[in-house]
Amino acid sequence: MTTTPYRPSTVESQRPLLELEDPAPVEARRALVPLAEAAGLQGTEADDLRSAVSEVVTNAVMYGEAPVRVTGWASPGQVVVTVSDCGRGPSETELGQAPLDREAGQGGLGLWMARQLCRELVMGTHDGGFTVRLVVAADSAR
């Protein structure tokens, strides 16, 4: 498991626009639409948000421990989403640092994809489990 402690960002103390418990990935993707709209993310930016969050939610559902909580905040040009579960996080070798065509196993591709699509992706463990935070920003806000 990863032993990096999770450090919440200041935005996480604000009231969220999105809160889901144990969503299927397809439900999480659909729930992101108003969040992207509130932030003014369009086209590829909104698609990238959808892809990145979907990958992380899929990992949490498949490899984490329920309940999985998805929480989202929107500000002009930027969306922050946290995906938490009650597990202990992936092992060091599953941390999504590797590209698709590596030989050993298939794990980690989703997280690797999510990293490519986000402005920021951080993760860590805490008392209640494991959290991934994703930040997707409009080009003008990068």
Partner 1 sequence: MALDDYLWIEVEADGTSSTVAVRGELDAGSAPHLGEAIAQAASTGAPIHLDLNEVGFIDSSGLRVVAEAVRLAKEDGRALQVTAMSDAVRRVFEVSGLVRQLPS
User: Cα(13)–Cα(19) distance, rounded to whole angstroms?
Assistant: 14
Residue 138 tokens, joined: 């409009």
Could you tell me the smallest distance in angstroms from the CB atom of residue 101 to partner 1? Answer: 7
CB of 13 to partner 1, least distance (A): 30
Q: Tell me how far apart the alpha carbons of residues 61 and 84 are, in angstroms, rounded to a whole number.
A: 10
Part of the chain binding partner 1 (CB under 8 A), chosen from 2-10, 72-80, 103-111, 125-133: 103-111
The SS3 assignment for 142 reads coil
CB of 29 to partner 1, least distance (A): 7
Dihedral sign from CA coordinates of 104, 60, 18, 73: negative
Structure-block tokens of residue 3: 């032993």
Query: Does residue 116 sit in helix, strand or coil?
Result: helix
User: Is the Cβ of residue 62 or residue 140 nearer to partner 1 in the bound state?
Assistant: 62
Is residue 21 part of the contact set for partner 1 (CB under 8 A)? no
Whole-angstrom distance, CA of residue 68 vs CA of residue 97: 23
Contact with partner 1 (CB under 8 A) among 18, 74, 81, 113: 113
Residues between 46 and 65 with contacts to partner 1, criterion CB under 8 A: 47-48, 50-51, 54-55, 58, 62
Nearest residue (CB) to partner 1, 46 versus 80 = 46
Strands of 78-85's sheet in order across: 18-21, 69-75, 78-85, 129-137, 120-126
Residues that bind partner 1 (CB under 8 A): 24-27, 29-30, 44, 47-48, 50-51, 54-55, 58, 62, 99-101, 106, 109-110, 113, 116-117
